[in-house]
Amino acid sequence: MNLELVDIQGLSVVQDSFSELTGFSFSTYDDRGHLLIPPKYEDKLLAFIKSYTAGREEYGDFVRKGIEMAAMRKEISLFKGPADQHHLFIPSQVDGCALVLVGGAFYLSNRDFEEFYMKKGQSYGLTPSQLQSWSQKITVRDYETIQSISTHIKLLLNTVLRCGYERNLNRKRYQWAKTIIDVLSNIQQPITTGEVYSLMVDALLFLLNVDTVSVMVKDGALFKPMISAGRSKGDVESVFLKEEAWMISRSIKGRSPVSCNDNMEILRLGFPDNIASIHLFPIFCKENVFGVLGIFNSLIAREESECISELCNLVGFVLRNTSLQTVYDAHTKDIAALNLAATSLPAVLHTPDALYETIVDTTTRLLKAERGSLMLPDEDRGELSIKAVKGINKWLTRDIKIKIGEGVAGKVFKEGIPLLVENIGGTAYKARPHYKGGSFVCIPLKVGEETIGVLNISDKTTGEVFSEQDLALLSYFAPYASIALRASNYYSLAEQMKELSITDSLTGVFNRRYFHDRFIEEIQRSVRHDLPFSLAMLDIDDFKLFNDTEGHLAGDDVLKGIAHIARESLRVNDVLARFGGEEFTVIMPQTAKDEAYLVAERIRRNIQELLPCIWKTFPRRCITVSAGVATFPDDGKDTNELTRNADRALYMAKVEGKNRTIVWKKSD
């Protein structure tokens, strides 16, 4: 299980959000029952039972069995645990990495709890006289609500897990690719083939921590180890493989990796019995095969195999150019430029438009071209649109749409195969009149097997046609651009998740969690700079009566309307949050008591006057709110004291007839 790619920190934030939103205690385990993220808090009854060794062991066995069942079913499961409480087991999996979110500790009815208490309570140290007290501490939810909550949690959990996993995977791929590029870009002439292979072996041992590595080069009809390293170096460097050996033949002819972990097959190849597995990667460039890379006694994941294959391809490219000093010098310069280009992308990941322009700008500079464009898909419409251009007025291209599968870019996107055209006149494609020459390059941007965009480059500044070397250079840069685009998407998604975690889903204002954090910050700031600030608490008058007469949907509309009016009535620096139910809070930085009273009164009057009166049965002419105001530091020197006194002032407003604002005074 590849837990190193799981975003534990992000999952911890999401787990805490689940707890805040649902009122349940949640914890996260791997599919073997190991605790990864502990709960923020625990159900009081469950905590009491776990305070005994027997209860703790019983709960531990219950959780392990529940995780095993949920992981096997791969669906949301509801099991009864100690004290007959129900617990949710929500499995989630991405790319073989499985987690289980465990939470709940609730009853489906008070009667279920009472039956447990009377029948089994004493076995857990619960006396009959405590029944009423414990009844106030348990959680009761109906099955339909639990089903709805767990379905939404599983959907969000899967999304967050996949986003974090893929982001870390892409970051790891990026680091692999960048390290490889750094290693190869530092190769300087004069250099021997052996030195190139030595760098390759060092990179593999450093990056992937493999057991044993050997580079075998062709010598007549045999492939002989040229350089070997690792724990079993002595066992592999004395074995020569024949050219017709099945692993060599299949790897060379297929231009692809070949693996074997069959002991008999490995013995037939001539290796000793302590060699348990072999992975062969061909080292080639075009028609030139330079040798094979052998990795022994190592487990290699798919992503690592792709990285090694790319390394072999790059090494083959370097070796091909080593024989031609002029070509090699040009290639080294290109690699340096590519490395520089790749390092420019992370700086603009957070700004999509700037990232698009940087990608186009970088590719045109790499290929010394005058014109270029980046096209991204709109999957819902089945078409590509231009996101950034160079060499053409962007206003002329903003409305251009190309159907996926049609035209040059549409076909390259659909097929996922790069296209190099030296002379468009000799093809079935129609030349655009604003292109100076007939040569162009069109390459797909891919993450794994998924195509996420297309780069189009035309018109070399020198007037030459684009070459295979240009295509290769662009192919090396394309993964950087693809990863940057995907990372930018993940960053945007992460920002949306962050916004959701601090916002009340119904009213759109800040939630209680954000209010608490901001409250503490404001106290610290006010203490540091010796400044006052005020807190107002607002409560909707007769809201229970409104819900009873008009229904909860109408009540939700009132909450949203009041939140909107209150937000519009505030100043720029004031912070409005939903405190819970029908209660709202307002933090007013650098605001003394008199001014805070005016702000609260403005909110109260605006709600009374501006909220539409569209109810049918509710016996009041308009919806009103009562407000209580307390000011730091006169009315409280910490969050608890200030909140308590604002709440007391609110209570006084209710007692004195509602629809009014009361400012807390010590004499009260």
DSSP string, 241-303: EETTSHHHHHHHHHTS-EEE--HHHHHHHT--TT---EEEEEEEETTEEEEEEEEES----HH
Centre a 10 Å sphere on the Cβ of residue 581 and count the other Cβ atoms it contains. 11
Q: Are 399 and 383 in contact (CB under 8 A)?
A: no
474-529 per-position pLDDT tens digit: 887 788 787 877 777 766 665 666 666 688 889 989 998 889 999 999 999 999 99
- Could you tell me which residues are beta bridge partners of residue 296? 212, 278
Token pair belonging to 236: 């592999």
Gap between the Cα atoms of 486 and 480, Å rounded: 10
For the record, the structure tokens of 466 come out as 């684009």
CA–CA gap between residue 572 and residue 24 (Å, rounded):
35
Q: Which has the closest alpha carbon to 427: 415, 435, 419?
A: 419
Model confidence pLDDT, tens digit, residues 48-79: 888 888 888 999 999 999 999 998 888 999 99
* Alpha carbon distance 148, 614 (integer Å): 30
The alpha carbon of residue 470 and the mean position of all alpha carbons in its chain are separated, in whole angstroms, by: 34
Helix (H) or strand (E) holding 30: strand 25-30
Length of the chain: 668
> For residues 583 and 653, what is the distance between their CA atoms, to the nearest angstrom?
14
Phi-psi region of 532 (alpha: psi -120 to 50; beta: other; left: phi over 0): beta
- Residue 382: CB partners within 8 Å, gap ≥ 6? 403, 404
Q: Are 438 and 330 in contact (CB under 8 A)?
A: no
Alpha-carbon distance 271 to 232, whole Å? 11
The pLDDT assigned to 333 comes to 55
pLDDT for the residue 437: 64
**SS3 at position 338:** helix
CA distances in angstroms from 259 to 253, 256, 277, 391, 571, listed in the order given: 15, 10, 8, 48, 67
Residues 263, 246: contact at Cβ < 8 Å? no
Task: Give the span between the Cα atoms of 491 and 475, in whole angstroms.
Answer: 25
494 Cα distance to chain centroid: 6
- Residues 6+ away with beta carbon under 8 Å from 472: 317
| Residue numbers in the chain where pLDDT is lower than 70 | 1-3, 173, 175, 177, 179-190, 322-350, 379, 394-398, 424-437, 490-501, 667-668
Question: 């920002």: which residue's tokens?
Answer: 495
Q: In what order do the strands lie in the sheet with 440-447?
A: 401-403, 383-390, 369-378, 450-460, 440-447, 419-421
Say whether 27 sits in a helix, a strand or coil. strand
Report the distance separating Cα 127 and Cα 133, nearest Å.
Answer: 11
Here the tokens at position 192 are 């021997």
Q: Which of 89, 97, 131 is nearest to 114 (CA)?
A: 131
Q: Which residue segments constitute the domains of the chain, with CATH numbers given?
A: 3-164 (3.30.450), 187-323 (3.30.450.40), 333-498 (3.30.450.40), 512-663 (3.30.70.270)
- Ordered alpha helix ranges (H), 186-256: 193-208, 233-236, 246-254
Cis peptide before 190 (omega within 30 of 0): yes
How far is the CA of 600 from the CAs of 301, 316, 628, 660, in angstroms? 61, 73, 8, 9
Cα–Cα–Cα angle for 452, 441, 467, nearest 5°? Answer: 135
Q: Which two tokens stand for residue 507?
A: 């009213």
How many Å apart are CA 668 and CA 661, to the nearest integer? 14
Kindly state the DSSP code that residue 141 receives in the 8-state scheme: -
| 444 touches 359 (CB < 8 A) | no
Q: Are 646 and 537 in contact (CB under 8 A)?
A: yes
What is the pTM assigned to this prediction?
0.37
Cis, bond preceding 633 (omega within 30 deg of 0)? yes
| Contact assessment for residue 3 and residue 97, using Cβ atoms and an 8 Å cutoff | yes
Q: Rounded distance, CA 164 to CA 494, Å? A: 9
Q: What is the pLDDT of residue 328?
A: 47
CB of 537 within 8 A of CB of 650? yes
Whose tokens are 């819902």? That residue is 380
